[in-house]
Amino acid sequence: MITISILGSGKVAHHLILNFLEQDNIKLQQVYARTPNKVKDLVAHNQIISDINDLLPADIFIIAVSDDAIEEVSASIPIKNAFIVHTSGTKPMEAIANTDRKGVFYMLQTFSLDKDVDFSLIPYCIEASNPNDFTLLEKLALSFSERVYKISTDQRQSIHLAAVFVNNFTNHLYTIGEEICKENMVPFDILKPLILETANKIQVLSPKEAQTGPAARNDQSTIKRHLEALTDSNKKEIYQLITNSIQNN
Amino acid sequence: MITISILGSGKVAHHLILNFLEQDNIKLQQVYARTPNKVKDLVAHNQIISDINDLLPADIFIIAVSDDAIEEVSASIPIKNAFIVHTSGTKPMEAIANTDRKGVFYMLQTFSLDKDVDFSLIPYCIEASNPNDFTLLEKLALSFSERVYKISTDQRQSIHLAAVFVNNFTNHLYTIGEEICKENMVPFDILKPLILETANKIQVLSPKEAQTGPAARNDQSTIKRHLEALTDSNKKEIYQLITNSIQNN
């Protein structure tokens, strides 16, 4: 049994709480939330604390707050020599203050409050400052999934950068697709199977092999017509830049 | 029973052939291929013709060739007043020559030779110059899927443009993600669950609601660090442009 307390009440904390509660080998001890209302429907009243000084000892303290608050929250944990991990893709492990037992439990996935996340499909990128704590963190991750990776801070930061491209930027391209549909009175639903297949395809093909379209086949007349059709200068610029990038690849 | 002949031997023709052969209400009559070897493993030898003058009458002739060859191929069909459709996302219906019975059978999906495509999940965008032919084309599409849309040439061209953003450009972002992983000795596999979830998410949330990341939350310190980490000027430019676009959205 691993005893865990969570510090935070945002999207990541929300999904951690939901999934930890379902796990037999995990005891979710306390949730520290500055705004307890955000988690009151998830955990029992007496497990929620809004004063960090009410924290009890636990095997792992998981800080799931905004990047800039990690240092301050970790410094406020009143337990001596606690094992404290954060869940950030970008902050170094060293951002954790006030203990020599530091770690990172980075779940490489996108979280929204309104959408369940299957924890068994998440890659867990873990790091810890000492071997025993690493083993404990690994045990925690393995209780959800086999996709557990030992990842250094440098690697994690590069993974996070890659994730911005394949997740945040991709989602913005979906937004542009939706806007173009709306302008032309076409339901956005019509693009959804294509979006899914695009993501499915690279589960079996490398993205380089999977590349198709006017840029890849240097179809200048289509590219020209598309650029003319795009009246929005921002969309035009994105079209031109990514088309060039595909062609130089 | 609908009798169909296919003109072409590329990716779209390949998947049309495979799926038409499985359908009870469709008789695949002939496949016209300038390079018959490309389809010889798909259809019986006597169904393949390499001389377009060997075409027999059929209910629908489907032209699945490159955009620029549509006019020439349609002009060469030796059957009088045939119902001829093309499968292009960009060419007007009028690109079909030599008949008054023109149509479009545009499947909004991405096709690769090495990846099966589920025809029941494809949105079919159809158009025809006369109502009876439209009904026939609709019947053909409905034999695969309920996602059948009456779409004008103008709308189809805008859908194709949107598809370039959500499919071709998205796939290029996956390529960039893979390159960043390689440079940092991280397996690209680690990003695949995130890529799938990004596509899955907008099946239930609008992409605008689903937008997360440093740009959306105006996390300037992460954006700055990412831009510094990107040594490739092209990747840096894409990062900057899409970040700005998210922030202006």
Looking at this predicted complex, what is its ipTM?
0.91
Q: Give the whole-angstrom CA distance, residue A113 versus residue B204.
A: 12
Mean pLDDT of chain B: 95
Q: Is B236 in contact with B230 (CB distance < 8 Å)?
A: yes
Of A115, A147, A205, the CB nearest to B201: A115
pLDDT digits (tens, 9 = 90+) for A96-118: 999 999 999 999 998 878 788 89
| Terminal alpha carbon distance of chain B | 50
Structure tokens at A183: 């302008």
Q: Is B17 in contact with B41 (CB distance < 8 Å)?
A: no
How distant is the Cα of A105 from the closest Cα of chain B, in angstroms?
15
* Main-chain phi, psi angles of A84, to 5 degrees: -120, 130
> What pLDDT is attached to residue B116?
85
**In terms of Cα–Cα distance, which of A121, A111, A88 is closest to A11?**
A111
Q: Give the whole-angstrom CA distance, residue A35 versus residue A41.
A: 13
> What pLDDT is attached to residue A249?
85
Report how far apart, in Å, the C-alpha atoms of A121 and of each of A117, A136, B31, B170, B226 are. Answer: 8, 20, 43, 22, 26
Window 155-194 of B: residues touching A by CB (8 A cutoff) are 155, 157-159, 161-178, 180-181, 183-186, 188-194
Q: Give the whole-angstrom CA distance, residue A198 versus residue A213.
A: 12
Q: Give the whole-angstrom CA distance, residue A180 versus residue A186.
A: 9
Report how far apart, in Å, the C-alpha atoms of B76 and of each of A19, A168, B62 are. Answer: 63, 48, 13
Q: Give the whole-angstrom CA distance, residue B212 versus residue B109.
A: 27
> What pLDDT is attached to residue A8?
97
> What pLDDT is attached to residue A186?
96
* Main-chain phi, psi angles of A148, to 5 degrees: -115, 125
Reported residue count of chain A is 249
Window 190-229 of A: residues touching B by CB (8 A cutoff) are 190-216, 219, 221-222, 225-226, 229
Q: Give the whole-angstrom CA distance, residue B222 versus residue A66.
A: 12
CA A159 to chain centre: 11
Query: Dihedral sign, CA of B227, A208, B121, A239?
Result: positive
Window 6-35 of B: residues touching A by CB (8 A cutoff) are none
Phi/psi region, residue A100 (left: phi>0; alpha: psi -120 to 50; beta: rest), is: alpha
Give the residue carrying structure tokens 């430019």. B237
Mean pLDDT for back-to-back runs of 10 residues, chain B (249 residues): 96 95 95 93 95 97 95 97 96 95 96 85 96 98 95 96 98 98 96 96 93 94 95 97 96
The reply to whether residue B198 touches residue A203, judged by beta carbons under 8 angstroms, is no
Q: Which of A125, A171, A181, A225 to mutate to test the interface with B (most CBs of B within 10 A)?
A: A171
Which residues are within 8 A (CB) of B202 and not within 5 positions of it... i.e. 6 or more apart?
A: A171, A174, A192, A195, B210
What is the β-pairing status of strands B84-86 and B102-107?
parallel
Query: Which amino acid is present at A87?
Result: T
Tell me which residues of chain A have a pLDDT lower than 50: none
> What pLDDT is attached to residue B109?
92
> What pLDDT is attached to residue A115?
80
